[in-house]
């Protein structure tokens, strides 16, 4: 069981559910897609929004409703449902493969299709409706919660943006 939500001691005051504050440079993340930074203000505003199965906002969201809402800020319309957002997914072999904005997709034990989606926030953090044991709302938490050996299979999908070429490198913020 995770500790109860707290507020960050730094000026951002964000809520989080770990024993330590998220990295101070998490918002915006250090590594990001060229125009993915436009989706972060929307994603951060959604922290604390309650989870409800099938909800697409604005007062409640499910996992795919969260990713849809965040990507609308950069003009990308993601389909409804985590299983539909999984099109083009790749096996996750290392967290080092991820860039902020990548979708993380989950198959729970005994399921053949994807049943959950979150977004990689960078620097080892995830933003989304959370793993089991998290409060039922949009939260920021360490990716290590998702990589436990409990029968989940995690894959990812990189969302190609209009100003990004297939051979572009991910820039870092100063």
User: Is the pLDDT reported for residue 122 higher than 80?
Assistant: yes
Please give the pLDDT value at position 153.
73
Quote the CA–CA distance of 102 and 83 in Å, as a whole number.
15
User: Is the pLDDT reported for residue 94 higher than 90?
Assistant: no
pTM here is: 0.73
Cβ neighbours of 10 (radius 10 Å):
11
pLDDT: which is higher, 127 or 3: 127
Please give the pLDDT value at position 80.
92
Cβ neighbours of 70 (radius 10 Å):
28
Q: Three-state secondary structure along 59-128?
A: CCECHHHHHHHHHHCCCCCCCCCHHHHCCCCEECCCHHHCCECCEEEEECCCCCCCCEEEEEEECCEEEE
31: confidence class by pLDDT, cuts 50, 70, 90: very low
User: Is the pLDDT reported for residue 27 higher than 80?
Assistant: no
CATH superfamily assigned to domain 29-157: endopeptidase domain like (from Nostoc punctiforme) (3.90.1720.10)
φ and ψ of 109, to 5 deg: -50, 130
Average pLDDT, stretch 86-91? 87
Question: Domains of the chain: which residue ranges?
Answer: 29-157
């Amino acid at each position: 069981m995770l500790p109860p939500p707290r507020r960050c001691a730094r000026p951002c005051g964000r809520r989080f559910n770990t024993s330590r504050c998220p990295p101070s440079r998490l918002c915006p993340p250090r590594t990001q897609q060229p125009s993915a930074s436009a989706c972060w203000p929307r994603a951060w505003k959604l922290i604390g929004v309650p989870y409800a199965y099938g909800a697409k906002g604005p007062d409640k969201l499910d996992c795919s409703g969260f990713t849809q809402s965040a990507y609308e800020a950069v003009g990308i319309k993601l389909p409804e449902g985590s299983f539909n957002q999984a099109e083009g997914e790749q096996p996750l072999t290392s967290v080092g493969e991820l860039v902020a904005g990548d979708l993380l997709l989950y198959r729970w034990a005994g399921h053949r299709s994807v049943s959950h989606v979150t977004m990689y926030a960078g620097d080892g953090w995830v933003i989304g409706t959370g793993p089991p044991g998290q409060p039922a709302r949009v939260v920021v938490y360490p990716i290590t919660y998702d990589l436990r050996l409990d029968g989940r299979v995690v894959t990812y999908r990189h969302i190609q943006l209009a100003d990004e070429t297939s051979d572009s490198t991910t820039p870092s913020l100063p």
